[in-house]
Amino acid sequence: NVHVCFVVNYPFVNVNGWTSWLWMNAELMKAGYLPIVSTLVNRIAWFEALDQSMAYGHSEPFNRLVAAVVLEGFKPYQTVLGI
């Protein structure tokens, strides 16, 4: 929700995506998760879920997408560790 709130409220349109992405990753790392790597994200699904959150207040699709991408980021570590 940090990402959505920041995108909606940040007054400078040209950098709100990058800044909110950094902030979201900082919050994920603070909570013990890996940061989201942009190559793992399906950008169309990302923006559709973000639009749903911003326009209609439906944050569940965006939250599910973030959770899926975070879990995907663990796969290389799981492969190396054999888990």
Does residue 16 surpass a pLDDT of 70?
no
**Dist CA 2 CA 27 (whole Å):** 8
| The predicted structure's pLDDT at residue 30 | 93
φ, ψ of residue 13 in degrees (nearest 5): -60, -35
> Is pLDDT of 32 > 70?
yes
Q: How far apart, in whole angstroms, are the C-alpha atoms of residue 25 and residue 28?
A: 5
pTM summary value: 0.70
How high is the pLDDT of residue 8? 58
Of 1-5, 43-47, 61-65, where does mean pLDDT reach its minimum? 1-5
Contacting residues for 63 by C-beta, under 8 A, at least 6 apart: 1
Provide the pLDDT for residue 1.
Answer: 64
Mean pLDDT of 26-48: 84
